[in-house]
Protein backbone atom coordinates (compact mmCIF):
# COMPACT_ATOMS: atom_id res chain seq x y z
CA UNK A 1 0.00 0.00 0.00
CA UNK A 2 1.54 3.32 -1.13
CA UNK A 3 0.38 6.00 1.30
CA UNK A 4 1.20 8.84 -1.06
CA UNK A 5 -0.92 7.26 -3.80
CA UNK A 6 -3.83 7.05 -1.34
CA UNK A 7 -3.51 10.73 -0.49
CA UNK A 8 -3.27 11.55 -4.21
CA UNK A 9 -6.50 9.67 -4.87
CA UNK A 10 -8.25 11.49 -2.03
CA UNK A 11 -6.98 14.80 -3.40
CA UNK A 12 -8.82 14.12 -6.68
CA UNK A 13 -12.07 14.04 -4.72
CA UNK A 14 -11.15 16.57 -2.07
CA UNK A 15 -8.63 19.19 -3.32
CA UNK A 16 -8.45 20.59 0.21
CA UNK A 17 -7.13 17.35 1.70
CA UNK A 18 -3.74 18.89 2.54
CA UNK A 19 -5.39 21.80 4.32
CA UNK A 20 -7.60 19.41 6.26
CA UNK A 21 -4.58 17.42 7.31
CA UNK A 22 -2.39 20.44 8.05
CA UNK A 23 -0.51 20.43 10.42
CA UNK A 24 -0.72 16.65 10.09
CA UNK A 25 0.88 16.99 6.66
CA UNK A 26 4.24 16.50 8.29
CA UNK A 27 3.01 13.26 9.81
CA UNK A 28 2.28 11.90 6.34
CA UNK A 29 5.69 12.94 5.06
CA UNK A 30 7.39 11.33 8.03
CA UNK A 31 5.56 8.02 7.82
CA UNK A 32 8.47 6.59 5.85
CA UNK A 33 10.63 7.07 8.95
CA UNK A 34 8.76 4.18 10.51
CA UNK A 35 11.09 1.91 8.56
CA UNK A 36 10.49 -0.76 5.98
CA UNK A 37 9.69 -3.41 8.58
CA UNK A 38 6.51 -1.75 9.87
CA UNK A 39 3.72 -4.31 9.60
CA UNK A 40 1.28 -3.42 6.84
CA UNK A 41 -1.61 -4.51 9.07
CA UNK A 42 -0.80 -1.68 11.45
CA UNK A 43 -1.23 1.04 8.83
CA UNK A 44 -5.07 1.17 8.89
CA UNK A 45 -4.91 2.00 12.59
CA UNK A 46 -2.59 4.94 12.01
CA UNK A 47 -4.48 6.19 8.99
CA UNK A 48 -7.86 5.66 10.61
CA UNK A 49 -6.87 7.96 13.45
CA UNK A 50 -5.35 10.50 11.06
CA UNK A 51 -8.35 10.68 8.74
CA UNK A 52 -10.79 10.74 11.65
CA UNK A 53 -9.12 13.94 12.84
CA UNK A 54 -9.29 15.39 9.33
CA UNK A 55 -12.85 14.47 8.44
CA UNK A 56 -14.55 13.50 11.68
CA UNK A 57 -16.29 10.16 12.08
CA UNK A 58 -16.24 7.71 9.19
CA UNK A 59 -19.38 7.54 7.01
CA UNK A 60 -22.05 5.41 8.64
CA UNK A 61 -22.13 2.99 5.71
CA UNK A 62 -18.41 2.20 6.14
CA UNK A 63 -18.88 1.39 9.83
CA UNK A 64 -21.99 -0.64 8.96
CA UNK A 65 -20.03 -2.71 6.45
CA UNK A 66 -17.23 -3.28 8.94
CA UNK A 67 -19.72 -4.38 11.60
CA UNK A 68 -21.26 -6.73 9.03
CA UNK A 69 -17.79 -8.21 8.45
CA UNK A 70 -17.24 -8.37 12.21
CA UNK A 71 -20.43 -10.40 12.61
CA UNK A 72 -19.14 -12.95 10.11
CA UNK A 73 -15.80 -13.10 11.88
CA UNK A 74 -17.48 -13.59 15.26
CA UNK A 75 -19.28 -16.60 13.80
CA UNK A 76 -16.22 -18.13 12.18
CA UNK A 77 -13.98 -17.53 15.19
CA UNK A 78 -16.56 -19.10 17.51
CA UNK A 79 -16.85 -22.11 15.22
CA UNK A 80 -13.13 -22.84 15.16
CA UNK A 81 -12.68 -22.01 18.84
CA UNK A 82 -15.41 -24.47 19.75
CA UNK A 83 -14.08 -27.09 17.35
CA UNK A 84 -10.70 -26.84 19.03
CA UNK A 85 -12.20 -26.92 22.55
CA UNK A 86 -14.33 -29.98 21.72
CA UNK A 87 -11.31 -31.86 20.28
CA UNK A 88 -13.17 -32.71 17.08
CA UNK A 89 -10.07 -32.04 15.00
CA UNK A 90 -7.69 -35.00 14.56
CA UNK A 91 -4.05 -34.47 15.39
CA UNK A 92 -3.01 -34.90 11.75
CA UNK A 93 -4.95 -31.78 10.77
CA UNK A 94 -4.61 -29.77 13.96
CA UNK A 95 -1.97 -27.41 12.54
CA UNK A 96 -4.18 -26.50 9.56
CA UNK A 97 -7.12 -25.63 11.76
CA UNK A 98 -4.91 -23.88 14.33
CA UNK A 99 -3.74 -21.39 11.70
CA UNK A 100 -7.28 -20.74 10.53
CA UNK A 101 -8.48 -20.33 14.12
CA UNK A 102 -5.71 -17.83 14.82
CA UNK A 103 -6.58 -15.85 11.69
CA UNK A 104 -10.29 -15.62 12.52
CA UNK A 105 -9.60 -14.41 16.05
CA UNK A 106 -7.14 -11.85 14.70
CA UNK A 107 -9.75 -10.65 12.21
CA UNK A 108 -12.18 -10.04 15.08
CA UNK A 109 -9.64 -7.97 17.02
CA UNK A 110 -8.58 -6.10 13.89
CA UNK A 111 -12.11 -5.10 12.87
CA UNK A 112 -13.02 -4.07 16.41
CA UNK A 113 -10.01 -1.78 16.53
CA UNK A 114 -10.53 -0.27 13.07
CA UNK A 115 -14.17 0.51 13.83
CA UNK A 116 -13.13 2.26 17.03
CA UNK A 117 -10.39 4.20 15.22
CA UNK A 118 -12.96 5.41 12.69
CA UNK A 119 -15.20 6.74 15.44
CA UNK A 120 -17.76 3.94 15.26
CA UNK A 121 -18.97 1.40 17.79
CA UNK A 122 -18.18 -2.25 17.20
CA UNK A 123 -21.19 -4.49 17.65
CA UNK A 124 -21.13 -7.03 20.45
CA UNK A 125 -20.77 -10.70 19.71
CA UNK A 126 -24.22 -12.00 18.77
CA UNK A 127 -25.87 -15.12 20.14
CA UNK A 128 -24.62 -18.00 18.03
CA UNK A 129 -26.04 -21.47 17.48
CA UNK A 130 -23.43 -23.54 15.66
CA UNK A 131 -25.98 -26.31 15.06
CA UNK A 132 -27.91 -24.01 12.74
CA UNK A 133 -30.98 -24.28 14.94
CA UNK A 134 -31.70 -20.62 15.81
CA UNK A 135 -30.91 -21.16 19.48
CA UNK A 136 -32.31 -24.66 19.88
CA UNK A 137 -28.91 -26.33 19.66
CA UNK A 138 -30.54 -29.13 17.71
CA UNK A 139 -30.22 -27.80 14.18
CA UNK A 140 -29.14 -29.85 11.14
CA UNK A 141 -25.44 -29.40 11.95
CA UNK A 142 -25.61 -30.40 15.62
CA UNK A 143 -22.93 -33.06 15.05
CA UNK A 144 -20.41 -30.56 13.68
CA UNK A 145 -18.52 -30.39 16.97
CA UNK A 146 -18.40 -34.16 17.43
CA UNK A 147 -17.97 -35.47 13.88
CA UNK A 148 -14.94 -34.23 11.94
CA UNK A 149 -16.46 -34.78 8.48
CA UNK A 150 -19.45 -32.63 9.41
CA UNK A 151 -17.16 -30.06 11.01
CA UNK A 152 -15.27 -29.65 7.71
CA UNK A 153 -18.47 -29.49 5.67
CA UNK A 154 -19.89 -26.65 7.74
CA UNK A 155 -16.50 -24.93 7.78
CA UNK A 156 -16.45 -25.06 3.99
CA UNK A 157 -19.85 -23.39 3.79
CA UNK A 158 -18.77 -20.70 6.28
CA UNK A 159 -15.53 -19.94 4.46
CA UNK A 160 -17.07 -19.89 0.98
CA UNK A 161 -19.85 -17.63 2.23
CA UNK A 162 -17.35 -15.31 3.92
CA UNK A 163 -15.36 -14.91 0.71
CA UNK A 164 -18.49 -14.03 -1.24
CA UNK A 165 -19.74 -11.67 1.50
CA UNK A 166 -16.51 -9.64 1.57
CA UNK A 167 -16.60 -9.39 -2.20
CA UNK A 168 -20.19 -8.18 -2.08
CA UNK A 169 -19.29 -5.24 0.16
CA UNK A 170 -16.22 -4.01 -1.72
CA UNK A 171 -18.23 -1.41 -3.63
CA UNK A 172 -19.54 0.12 -0.41
CA UNK A 173 -15.96 0.72 0.77
CA UNK A 174 -14.55 2.23 -2.42
CA UNK A 175 -14.80 5.71 -0.93
CA UNK A 176 -12.31 4.75 1.77
CA UNK A 177 -9.33 3.14 0.07
CA UNK A 178 -7.53 2.42 3.33
CA UNK A 179 -10.43 0.43 4.76
CA UNK A 180 -11.04 -1.23 1.37
CA UNK A 181 -7.43 -2.39 1.26
CA UNK A 182 -7.72 -3.85 4.76
CA UNK A 183 -11.00 -5.61 3.88
CA UNK A 184 -9.52 -7.08 0.71
CA UNK A 185 -6.55 -8.31 2.72
CA UNK A 186 -8.95 -10.30 4.91
CA UNK A 187 -10.91 -11.43 1.84
CA UNK A 188 -7.76 -12.99 0.35
CA UNK A 189 -7.03 -14.88 3.56
CA UNK A 190 -10.62 -16.16 3.74
CA UNK A 191 -10.21 -17.49 0.19
CA UNK A 192 -7.10 -19.38 1.27
CA UNK A 193 -9.01 -20.78 4.23
CA UNK A 194 -11.76 -21.99 1.90
CA UNK A 195 -9.24 -23.74 -0.36
CA UNK A 196 -7.53 -25.38 2.63
CA UNK A 197 -10.80 -26.65 4.12
CA UNK A 198 -11.88 -27.96 0.73
CA UNK A 199 -8.58 -29.83 0.37
CA UNK A 200 -9.02 -31.36 3.82
CA UNK A 201 -12.51 -32.54 2.84
CA UNK A 202 -11.12 -34.05 -0.37
CA UNK A 203 -8.40 -35.87 1.56
CA UNK A 204 -11.00 -37.18 4.01
CA UNK A 205 -12.93 -38.84 1.19
CA UNK A 206 -15.13 -36.17 -0.40
CA UNK A 207 -13.29 -36.67 -3.68
CA UNK A 208 -15.68 -34.55 -5.76
CA UNK A 209 -14.78 -31.48 -3.70
CA UNK A 210 -12.01 -29.36 -5.23
CA UNK A 211 -10.08 -26.38 -3.78
CA UNK A 212 -12.38 -24.17 -5.87
CA UNK A 213 -16.16 -24.14 -6.35
CA UNK A 214 -17.25 -26.41 -9.21
CA UNK A 215 -20.98 -26.08 -9.86
CA UNK A 216 -23.04 -28.93 -11.23
CA UNK A 217 -26.63 -29.96 -11.88
CA UNK A 218 -27.59 -26.35 -12.55
CA UNK A 219 -26.63 -25.06 -9.10
CA UNK A 220 -23.51 -23.60 -7.55
CA UNK A 221 -23.48 -25.75 -4.41
CA UNK A 222 -20.79 -28.43 -4.56
CA UNK A 223 -20.67 -29.29 -0.85
CA UNK A 224 -22.98 -32.27 -1.19
CA UNK A 225 -25.33 -30.76 1.41
CA UNK A 226 -28.60 -29.40 0.00
CA UNK A 227 -29.19 -27.32 3.11
CA UNK A 228 -26.58 -24.76 2.05
CA UNK A 229 -27.80 -24.31 -1.54
CA UNK A 230 -28.51 -20.65 -0.77
CA UNK A 231 -24.91 -20.03 0.23
CA UNK A 232 -23.84 -20.95 -3.30
CA UNK A 233 -26.70 -19.40 -5.26
CA UNK A 234 -25.33 -17.80 -8.44
CA UNK A 235 -22.02 -19.66 -8.48
CA UNK A 236 -23.25 -21.52 -11.56
CA UNK A 237 -23.30 -18.25 -13.48
CA UNK A 238 -21.35 -18.23 -16.76
CA UNK A 239 -22.13 -14.66 -17.88
CA UNK A 240 -19.90 -11.80 -16.76
CA UNK A 241 -20.10 -8.20 -17.94
CA UNK A 242 -22.57 -9.38 -20.54
CA UNK A 243 -20.16 -11.98 -21.93
CA UNK A 244 -21.62 -15.48 -21.94
CA UNK A 245 -18.86 -18.04 -21.67
CA UNK A 246 -21.13 -21.07 -21.67
CA UNK A 247 -19.72 -22.18 -25.01
CA UNK A 248 -16.14 -22.06 -23.76
CA UNK A 249 -16.34 -25.46 -22.08
CA UNK A 250 -18.25 -27.47 -19.51
CA UNK A 251 -20.50 -25.28 -17.35
CA UNK A 252 -18.81 -26.38 -14.13
CA UNK A 253 -15.38 -25.58 -15.51
CA UNK A 254 -16.42 -22.17 -16.82
CA UNK A 255 -18.27 -21.14 -13.66
CA UNK A 256 -15.25 -22.16 -11.57
CA UNK A 257 -13.24 -19.46 -13.33
CA UNK A 258 -15.29 -16.78 -11.57
CA UNK A 259 -16.52 -16.25 -8.03
CA UNK A 260 -19.77 -14.44 -7.39
CA UNK A 261 -20.49 -11.91 -4.61
CA UNK A 262 -23.26 -12.22 -2.06
CA UNK A 263 -25.19 -9.12 -1.03
CA UNK A 264 -25.69 -7.95 2.54
CA UNK A 265 -29.34 -9.01 2.45
CA UNK A 266 -28.51 -12.45 1.06
CA UNK A 267 -25.98 -13.16 3.80
CA UNK A 268 -28.29 -11.91 6.55
CA UNK A 269 -31.11 -14.11 5.22
CA UNK A 270 -28.78 -17.11 5.25
CA UNK A 271 -27.35 -16.62 8.74
CA UNK A 272 -29.93 -14.86 10.91
CA UNK A 273 -32.42 -17.33 12.30
CA UNK A 274 -30.05 -20.24 11.72
CA UNK A 275 -26.52 -19.72 13.03
CA UNK A 276 -27.14 -16.21 14.34
CA UNK A 277 -30.00 -16.41 16.81
CA UNK A 278 -32.89 -14.16 15.84
CA UNK A 279 -33.92 -11.88 18.68
pLDDT-derived band at 216, boundaries 50, 70, 90:
confident
In the chain, what are the domains? 1-32 (no CATH), 40-212 (1.20.1260.10)
- DSSP of 113-176: HHHHHTT--PPPPPPB-TTSSTTSS-STTGGGGT-HHHHHHHHHHHHHHHHHHHHHHGGGGTT-
Q: Is the pTM of this model over 0.85?
A: no
pLDDT-derived band at 252, boundaries 50, 70, 90:
low
For residues 243-252, average pLDDT = 72
Q: Report the residue count for the chain.
A: 279
* pLDDT tens per residue across span 169-188: 999 998 888 899 999 999 99
- In sequence order, the 6+-apart residues with CB closer than 8 A to the CB of 268 are none
- pLDDT for residue 218: 73
Strand 243-244, strand 239-240: pairing? antiparallel
Q: Which of 15-24, 119-128, 210-219, 247-256 has the highest mean pLDDT?
A: 119-128
- Residue % of the chain over a pLDDT of 70: 76
- pLDDT for residue 63: 93
For residues 47-67, average pLDDT = 63
- pLDDT for residue 279: 79
Helix pair angle (43-55, 94-117), 10° resolution = 20
pLDDT-derived band at 250, boundaries 50, 70, 90:
low
- Residue % of the chain over a pLDDT of 90: 63
Burial 78-98 (b: 16+ CB within 10 A, else e): bbbebbeeeebbeeeeeeebe
Who wins on pLDDT, 64 or 279? 64
- pLDDT for residue 60: 65
pLDDT-derived band at 127, boundaries 50, 70, 90:
very high
Q: Which of 120, 123, 140 is nearest to 131 (CA)?
A: 140
pLDDT-derived band at 138, boundaries 50, 70, 90:
very high
Who wins on pLDDT, 38 or 187? 187
Amino acid sequence: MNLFEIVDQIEKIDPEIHERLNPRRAAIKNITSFGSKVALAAMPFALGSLFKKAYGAAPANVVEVLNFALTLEYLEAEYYNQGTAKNVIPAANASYIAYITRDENNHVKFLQTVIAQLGGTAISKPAIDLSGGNGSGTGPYASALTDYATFLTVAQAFEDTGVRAYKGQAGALKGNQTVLTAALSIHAVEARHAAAIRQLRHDLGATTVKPWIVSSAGKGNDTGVAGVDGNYAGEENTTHLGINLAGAGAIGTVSASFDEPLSYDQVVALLVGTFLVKK
